[in-house]
Structure 1
Amino acid sequence: MAKNKTTVTEIDVFDFIHSYVENEQKKSDSLELIKLMGKWSGFEPKMWGPTIIGFGSYHYKYANGHEGDAPMLGFSPRKAQFSFYIYAKTGKNDALLKAFGKFKMGKACIYVQKLADIDISILEQICKETLIYLNENHKCGACKGE
């Protein structure tokens, strides 16, 4: 079984933002996301792999035996767009996406150009719904109360 590439690193989140993100609007949006996701999740930001900023962690295991840890919430300020790792497929999240704003949906990511394209209150609700889902359905190594 292949080893997961996306694990927690010792890279400083703010050093990463200031060295990796060239666009000033994206840098500002990234700093705002760190503040918001930290507030909503209750976790400090950590780097996962070289480019993902994550909050908290949970353990997953697939039917094929592959397992690992992932951030409960996360994002990456990629050059083309933000990649959000915030979505758990629930009925509530599916309904929230209808009012989310301008985005594209991937298999496990939501792609957004800039924060101004989306409704931040809907982002908060999606993040909180995902945290509830993960706490109820996965072993959370850094869940609140453990």
Structure 2
Amino acid sequence: MTDQQKTLPTDQSVDAFLSTITPVSKRTDCEQLRQIFEEMTGYPAVMWGDTMIGFGHYHYRYSSGHEGDSFLVGFSPRKANISLYFATGPEREQFLARLGKHKTGKSCVYINKLADVDLLVLRELIVHSVAFLETTYPRS
């Protein structure tokens, strides 16, 4: 038996959600992030839960038997910063070393504003993350 997954895709409008983000500078950054993520993944933006914007989709199953669904990459505007979600694969650190000003959590990369990071490295990180996850968890 699997645990009930909390964060799933919704029918909520990404545009409507983005329009609620304050301050305007964070909204502008998130609108630009949406364009970058869509361009680099080829997937449309989809709301996952109430505050996460995800691109693409994969199904994972761990050796423990735990399984679920998630977006390949995504982001979420938070009160203090913007959370970026990428794969945690072994090569992620080489991208993060070149990304610019950020902090990291287990699977999150936190930035204050888009101007703090190198957008070319961000694009590389998106492509790498999608390729890593699609290779690790191929569609059946």
What TM bracket, shorter-length normalisation? over 0.9
1:69-94, Cα deviation, whole Å (9 max, x unpaired) = 10011000111111111233232x22
> Where do 5+ consecutive residues of structure 1 fail to align?
142-146
SS at match of 1:87: coil
Aligned to 2:74: 74
SS at match of 1:99: helix
Give distance in 2, aligned partners of 1:6 and 1:72: 13
1:50-75, Cα deviation, whole Å (9 max, x unpaired) = 10000000111122221111001100
Whether 2:23 is the aligned partner of 1:23: answer yes
Give distance in 1, aligned partners of 2:18 and 2:6: 20
Aligned to 2:13: 12
| Corresponding pairs, count | 139
Deviation at 1:132, TM superposition (A): 1.1
2:8–2:48 contact (8 Å) kept in structure 1: yes
SS at match of 1:98: helix
1:43-62 → structure 2 map (5 Å cutoff)? 43-62=43-62
Deviation at 1:2, TM superposition (A): 2.3
Identity %: 36
1:82–1:113 contact (8 Å) kept in structure 2: yes
Give distance in 2, aligned partners of 1:140 and 1:13: 25
Aligned to 1:144: none
1:46–1:54 contact (8 Å) kept in structure 2: yes
> Where do 5+ consecutive residues of structure 2 fail to align?
none
Q: CA-atom RMSD, angstroms?
A: 1.3
Aligned to 1:88: 88
Say if 1:69 and 1:25 are closer, same or farther in 2 by CA, change over 3 A: same
The one-letter code matched in structure 2 to 1:120 is L
Q: Which moved more, 1:58-67 or 1:40-49?
A: 58-67
TM-score, normalised with respect to structure 1 = 0.90
Deviation at 1:134, TM superposition (A): 1.1
SS at match of 1:64: coil
TM-score, normalised with respect to structure 2 = 0.94
Aligned to 1:129: 128
Aligned to 2:111: 112
